Structure 1
Amino acid sequence: MREVVEGVWHALTGSAPGPFELTGAEDVLPGPYRVAAAATASVAAATLAAGEMLKVRGIEPGVVTADTRHAAAAFHSEALSRVDGTGAESVWAPLSGNYRAADGWVRLHCNYPRHEAAVCWGLGVPGTREAVAKAVAGRSAREVEHAVVTAGGAAAELRSPEDWAEHPQGRAVASLPLVDLAPVGDAPKRTLFYSDRPLGGIRVLELTHVLAGPVAGRVLAAHGADVLHIGAAHLPRIEALVRDTGQGKRSAFVALDTEGGRARLKKLISRADVLLQSFRPGALARIGFGTAELAELRPGLVIADLSAYGWEGPWARRRGFDSLVQMSDGIAWSPDGPSPLPVQALDHGTGWLAAAAIMTALHRQVTDGGTWRVRLSLAGTGRWLDALGRKDPAGSDVGYGDLLEETDSGYGRLTRVRMPGGLPGAQPHWDFGTRLPGVDKPTWTP
């Protein structure tokens, strides 16, 4: 697995990583893909990046460590989370899932009311699983995908890896780097306030939802950043995911569809160090927060953009989620029907890699200055995972109980996976448990 870590670090920095040690075997997760290796490398890369931030503070980071079993636990932390001893409820809505079409399979994502409505509208059926299944069975998978996406929903046909390689979006993803990190404006070198933590004094404004973006923010919070998550009171949430990914973050509501809300966001950005967002490409630009505007508003900002299918190609603005991208890009392909990964590795992997890239950009600001943009996608992470090769699909019987801890949260007594990744110079940890959505003011702390 060392070569995987070294490859990721080279993609981030163009150089060799500092000293690190890996423990554990890849059989902690079943299936043919090297998900455990990807998880371990992602955790190691983020921890190494945190170590580099310690170095510029004059603190020796020590030898970074990453354990495969702990990384695997972190990659399905939402399933291991408990509140007052009760396990997490299913994150899937009744209509979400895989459906047999006339010529293959298609997956429908209905976790949000607007996406469920789009499925019913696009297929012309009432909102029952039986009605949806019957409608899908009488059409081709591609026809269903097109009908739902055209109606504003989220769907994906099960494609083979060969089909995806020839697809225009597959070719676009293949042309993009795993991590795109580049300067987008001038700014003086960053001066860090005193802290004994890698990201002490760094303000992260998080405009994300579901999993990849929130995971990135959770990692940054564990390394000392002041992370403020911005949501909206009227938008639906998947509470199980919010509880799990909200560790160490403050949470506020801002209505970006109002003039007052956009003014509030502008004020927050003007004092932020990082903007982490997972709106579809172009969505923020349409309300006045494109890359050029952000660079002018806050010189020295690190802008981190996460997307489903990448930032170029015909699907650049398509709605997508981990389960859908696995269907589209051939990862879930099997002649017998969908065979998904054992965890939502595209989401978690993208989140951890985004955190590593953000810290790398912050490091570049200290040494070189500039305003920086970081871009990653679930499809890009999937391509990287596919390129790692295959392993024995068998998995061992693994327990994670010793990797869990309890803390108080806005939801009650929360059981969570401990933050993985060892950094002797400043061990990562969260300062508090998940807060209820919207309980904080949309302001920065002094």
Structure 2
Amino acid sequence: MSAAALLASLWGMGGGKPEALQQLRFSGESAQLPSTFQVGDVASASIAVQALMAAQLWQDRDGAEQKITVDRRHALAMFKSDRYLSVNGKPADDPWSKIAGYYQAGDGRWIQLHTNFPHHRDGVLAILQCADERTEVAKAIVGWKAAELEQVLADADMCASMIRTEQEWKAHPQAQAIADLPLFEVRRIGDGPVVPLNQGGGRTPLRPLSGVRVLDLSRVIAAPVGARTLAQHGADVLAISAAHLPNIMPLVMDTGRGKRSAQLDLRDAGGRQQLHELIGGADVFLQAYRPGSLSRLGYSAEELCALRPGLIHVSLSAYGHVGPWANRRGFDSLVQSASGIADAEGQAVCSAAPGKLPFQALDHATGYLLAYATMLALQKRAIEGGSWQVRVSLAQTGRWLQAMPRRGLHEDAAELRAEEIAGFLQTSNSGFGQIQTIAPVEKMSLTPARFELPAPVLGQHAAVWM
């Protein structure tokens, strides 16, 4: 499928009018990196659909139609944005743990470890009873069967996945549990007032999401990309973290653009009270904790929408909100491993070891789909009122990608050139120093996507609305 066909499909899923598609065009050269999966068209289409939705909200508010251009090569660069990040002219530190990656177990099957957070690394090493060295980890894993180690690590809340074939994943209870779920879900879950998008006392808005307040309780890539996307269209995004929670700083710099950052400890009554006050003034509550994690603190979608009628509650998970793996920790690369994507990419290069997509396609695509679905919910609230729930998952995005026709490994594929990347970069001065990152992809004729704020240092701002 082409990017245009994927865009039309996504737009139709949200109930968009077909004639609106004429507002957007794709430009640029070949938009594929070496992969058998249509990652280039997915990148272009997922960025395009949220841009078109932002333009629709602007038209709802202002009445003016605008033109949008999405450069296919720029979209590829944005899906690899963390790899092009530089700080004060130097590449950002490599966030990957030295023991993360693929290992062959004693039964010949492969398993992937994800150990980029220190407590995940330490937990894995404690179970394997070995030193923090790749050779030692490899020796320890030889003493296990891959499926048994995967289960033991999951039971300990660690992050790992056995490499499965696509056929094995389709037969897996988790894949079957989410097989009938939509790619993204937008559903009304309670009553609430009609909230017009022109909230500013009748004044003409400056941006598609001007006046929209977003609480962003997420880390790493997918959900932070979604919140960053809302910020680039004018939303007031307040990212909430906590001093005791680990973070990956290059990703904080990349996905923090356009946001403010505050810290609250939700283990503390005072922190929870501050969050309650913020929720009372929020339009969107966005979280990427495992399903049920925040519910145990009293922050389920139903409870929050009762506290703040009209709230848009947005949730991102790894494997979906139903099924035996709903509560399992996961990241993009682990979902690739579990679902057969890594196996298919390894076979494509005739390797005995697993492969991987050219970038974290599930993370980035899910982030943009999250932003699109959130804007859909805001539009629905403006028309009919109500409280709304948005749900997406990496596994559902993976299933969408796997359902597309496959390509030849190098079919229309061309690596990004240095001169191309240079043309996509933007520079900003932040608390981290001078940061150079990939600029927003979509070119919008009336409301250019932009970041009004540089990436903030964690906890730089007060936990209050502007």
The alignment's TM-score, normalised by the length of structure 2, stands at 0.93
2:288 is matched with 278
Q: Does 1:238 align with 2:248?
A: yes
Q: Give the aligned partner of residue 122 of structure 1.
A: 127
Question: What secondary structure sits across from 2:316 in the alignment?
Answer: strand
Task: Give the counterpart letter for 1:377 in structure 2.
Answer: S
Is the CA contact (8 Å cut-off) linking 1:31 and 1:342 kept in structure 2?
A: yes
Name which of 50, 66, 71 aligns with 1:62. 66
CA displacement at 1:25 relative to structure 2: 4.4
Q: What is the SS of the residue equivalent to 2:161?
A: strand
Task: Please state whether the residue corresponding to 1:272 is helix, strand or coil.
Answer: coil
**Distance change >3 Å, CA 26–CA 310, structure 1 → 2:** farther
- SS of match in other structure, 1:89: coil
Task: Pick from 354, 364, 369 the counterpart of residue 348 of structure 1.
Answer: 364
What letter is aligned with 1:5? L
Conserved 8 A contact 2:31-2:41: no
Counterpart of 2:148, as a letter, is: E
In 2, the alpha carbon distance for the partners of 1:283 and 1:397 equals: 40
Deviations 1:230-250 (A, max 9, x none): 000121111010011110100
Q: Give the Cα separation in 1 of the matches to 2:55 and 2:408.
A: 33
> Cα offset for 1:309?
0.2
Partner Cα separation in structure 2 for residue 377 and residue 26 of structure 1: 28
| Aligned mate of 2:378, from 350, 362, 370 | 362
Alignment of 1:22-421 (within 5 A): 22-102=26-106, 103-191=108-196, 192=198, 193=200, 194=203, 195-333=205-343, 334-335=346-347, 336-394=352-410, 395-399=413-417, 400-421=421-442
| 1:21 matches 2:32 | no
Pairwise CA distance, 1:62: 1.4
What SS does the corresponding residue of 2:390 show, helix, strand or coil?
strand
3-state SS in 2 of match to 1:349: helix
**Unmatched tracts of structure 1, length 5 or more:** none
Measure how far apart 1:9 and its partner are. 1.3
Letter in 2 for 1:167: H
User: Which segment drifts farther, 386-395 or 206-215?
Assistant: 386-395
192-201 or 271-280, which moves further after superposition?
192-201
Contact 1:13 1:360 in 2 (8 A): no
Which residue of the partner structure matches residue 432 of structure 1?
453
Q: In the superposition, relative to structure 1, how do residues 341 and 125 fare at CA in structure 2: closer, same or farther (>3 Å)?
A: same
Aligned-partner Cα distance in 1 for 2:60–2:16 = 18
Task: Indicate the residue corresponding to 1:441 in structure 2.
Answer: 462
Letter matched to residue 70 of structure 2: A
Distance 1:69 1:249 in 2: 26
Identity of aligned residues (%): 41
How much does 1:24 deviate? 3.1
1:146 positional shift:
1.1
User: 1:430 offset after TM fit, Å?
Assistant: 0.4
Q: Which secondary structure does the structure 1 equivalent of 2:14 belong to?
A: helix
- CA distance in 2 between counterparts of 1:382 and 1:26 reads 22
**In the alignment, residue 269 of structure 1 is paired with which amino acid?**
I
Q: CA deviation at 1:149?
A: 1.2
Distance in 1 between residues matched to 2:31 and 2:132, nearest whole Å: 40
- 1:338 positional shift: 1.1
Q: Distance in 2 between matches of 1:271 and 1:57?
A: 21
| Deviation for aligned residue 1:15 | 4.6
Provide the C-alpha distance between the structure 2 equivalents of 1:117 and 1:161, rounded to a whole number of angstroms. Answer: 31
SS of the counterpart of 1:174? Answer: coil
| Contact persistence 1:54–1:425 (CA under 8 A) | no
Shift of residue 224, structure 1, vs aligned partner: 0.2
Q: Which amino acid aligns with 2:427?
A: E
- In structure 1, what is the Cα distance between the partners aligned to 2:90 and 2:318? 32
Q: How far apart are the structure 1 equivalents of 2:190 and 2:31?
A: 45
| Secondary structure in 1 matching 2:436 | strand
Q: Secondary structure at the match of 1:283?
A: coil
CA contact (8 A) 1:207 1:278 kept: yes
* 1:12 Cα deviation from its structure 2 partner: 2.3
Moved more, 306-315 or 191-200: 191-200
State the distance in 2 between where 1:165 and 1:79 align. Answer: 32
Counterpart CA distance in 2 for 1:24 and 1:390 is 22
Q: CA deviation at 1:55?
A: 1.2
Q: Which moved more, 1:140-149 or 1:159-168?
A: 140-149
1:3 is matched with which residue?
5
Contact preservation (8 Å) 1:123, 1:148: no
Amino acid at match of 1:175: D
In the alignment, the residues of structure 1 paired with residue 164 and residue 32 of structure 2 have an alpha-carbon distance, to the nearest angstrom, of 27
Q: Matched residues in 1 for 2:231 and 2:302: separation?
A: 27
Change beyond 3 A, Cα 1:18–1:189: farther
Change (3 A) 1:419 1:14: closer
Conserved? CA contact 1:189–1:366, under 8 Å: yes
The alignment's TM-score, normalised by the length of structure 1, stands at: 0.97
1:195-235 superposed Cα distances (whole Å, 9 cap, x missing partner)? 12100010000000100011011101000000000000121
* SS of equivalent to 2:388: strand
SS in 1 for 2:207: coil
| Runs (5+) with no aligned partner, structure 2 | none
CA RMSD for the aligned pairs? 1.3
How far did 1:106 drift? 0.5
